[in-house]
Structure 1
Amino acid sequence: MASLGARDQTLASNNHVEIPVYMNSSNDMEAKNERQEADHDDSQVDYSQRAQWLRAAVLGANDGLVSVASLMMGIGSVRKDIKAMLLAGFAGLVAGACSMAIGEFVSVYTQYDIEKSQIKRRRRNGEEGVDETKEKLPNPAQAAVASALAFSLGALAPLLAAAFINDHKVRLGVVATVASFALLFFGAVGAVLGRTPVVKSCARVLIGGWLAMAITFGVTKLIGSAGLGM
């Protein structure tokens, strides 16, 4: 019996299986928590809230670029004088910046009035959190200045590109090339900030700019040629 007991103990010891238990170190746990917090913060970002200042900044600069570059290409189609192109481009910069500022001011002020009226109605109804909402009201003056500055910055690209080139054909080519690269840049910036596909955004902006410059160039040349022929 003693031998049987010893043999059973030997078999039990031979059949004993150790199951390793792996525990995460503190560094692994901290890294995992940081990743989870980063993913949570990114998921909580409301990118639709960026639409207002994106429209006033990136899109304003894109408008300035396309408008002034197209205007200069149109004047360049009928006039070889560099002064005529630069004067037309500068006039387009000033007029466009003023137009953007006034339009943005009126648009945002309308939104401001609507939201302010809504706050007054909520206050009369005794709702909570009205003061916090009031702090988030849009600023019409700030939006107007941002639009004017953005338009001006975008318009400076074709103006600077043409300022130091005397040859007419080379000047037109440089303006179109600089405008194309600037369009790609603005399209990429807008896509990254708005978390939209970069390639599609750049393609839309670039093709739209090319169409604007080509149509302005062709129509102005057609009208100018007909006028000169008369």
Structure 2
Amino acid sequence: MEAPQESNQIQSSFKETETPQPFTDLENQRNHELEEVEVIFDYSKRAQWLRAAVLGANDGLLSTTSLIMGVGAVRQDPKTMILSGVAGLIGGACSMAIGEFVSVYSQYDTELAQLKRETRSASELEEKKKRLPSPLQAAIASAFAFSVGAVIPLFGAVFVKDYAARVGVVIGLATLGLIGFGWLGITYGLTKAIGSTGL
């Protein structure tokens, strides 16, 4: 007579231990959603880098083209136009690098101060510091992007001897460069938007 009571007690204890499973499933689902949010945040950082690169390349393209055309209106020989373009490339790249370094360093300093207030252990702080933007890396990337844009109109000024043809080639290359940089930024943005919405 006592055996059925023991088996009932064992079954009831099994039922009690089985009930907390939905709670753990909710925790797992919540953790999974947090991981997805972190992945989306990483994509947005990449988009910021692309935006900075496209803007830097556009700036180099337009600045150098304008400088070459302006100098060419006064002195039409190719050597003067090329030298002015090279000077614009070097000066613009240095200016972009310094400006980007100062901007990103101020952002880095602000975020680091916030991390120091929020973080309790030194090891955790060091781990989070690795995720902060690098001012030096941003400066190098900005200077490189400007240089890539500035080189495009310089090709037209180097290889074409006739002044009228040189001006036409420089304008044509600048137009194609702007179209290419704009297409690159729009394509990347659209594909990321489609990927983030799950379409």
TM, length-normalised to structure 1: 0.61
Matched, 1:145 2:140: yes
**Moved runs in structure 1, 4+ residues, more than 2 A?**
43-52, 129-135
Query: What corresponds to 2:16 in structure 1?
Result: none
Cα offset, 1:187, TM superposition: 0.3
- Note the alpha carbon deviations across 1:80-107, whole angstroms, 9 max, x for none: 1111111110100000000000000000
Cα offset, 1:136, TM superposition: 1.0
More helix by share: 2
1:122 to 95, 114, 118: 118
Query: What corresponds to 1:188 in structure 2?
Result: 183
Cα offset, 1:130, TM superposition: 5.3
Unaligned segments of structure 2, at least 5 residues: 1-35, 192-199
Query: What corresponds to 1:157 in structure 2?
Result: 152
Quickly say closer, same or farther: Cα 1:71–1:53, change in 2 above 3 A: same
Cα offset, 1:46, TM superposition: 6.2
Cα offset, 1:155, TM superposition: 0.5
Partner Cα distance (2:152, 2:52) in 1: 18
Mapping for residues 39-188 of structure 1, pairs under 5 Å: 44=40, 47-124=43-120, 132-188=127-183
Partner Cα distance (1:173, 1:63) in 2: 20
SS in 2 for 1:195: helix
Partner Cα distance (2:72, 2:144) in 1: 26
TM, length-normalised to structure 2: 0.70
- Note the alpha carbon deviations across 1:205-225, whole angstroms, 9 max, x for none: xxxxxxxxxxxxxxxxxxxxx
Cα offset, 1:135, TM superposition: 2.4
SS in 2 for 1:77: helix
Quickly say closer, same or farther: Cα 1:100–1:174, change in 2 above 3 A: same
Cα offset, 1:56, TM superposition: 3.2
AA paired with 2:95?
S
Which one is further off, 183-192 or 52-61? 52-61
Partner Cα distance (1:44, 1:156) in 2: 34
- Note the alpha carbon deviations across 1:130-164, whole angstroms, 9 max, x for none: 56532210000001001111111110011111101
Unaligned segments of structure 1, at least 5 residues: 1-39, 197-230
Partner Cα distance (1:133, 1:119) in 2: 8
% identical equivalent positions: 58
Cα offset, 1:66, TM superposition: 0.8
AA paired with 2:189?
G
- Note the alpha carbon deviations across 1:161-216, whole angstroms, 9 max, x for none: 110111111100000001100110000001112228xxxxxxxxxxxxxxxxxxxx
Larger Rg: 1
- Note the alpha carbon deviations across 1:18-60, whole angstroms, 9 max, x for none: xxxxxxxxxxxxxxxxxxxxxx99x957653234312332221
SS in 1 for 2:159: coil
Mapping for residues 12-31 of structure 1, pairs under 5 Å: none
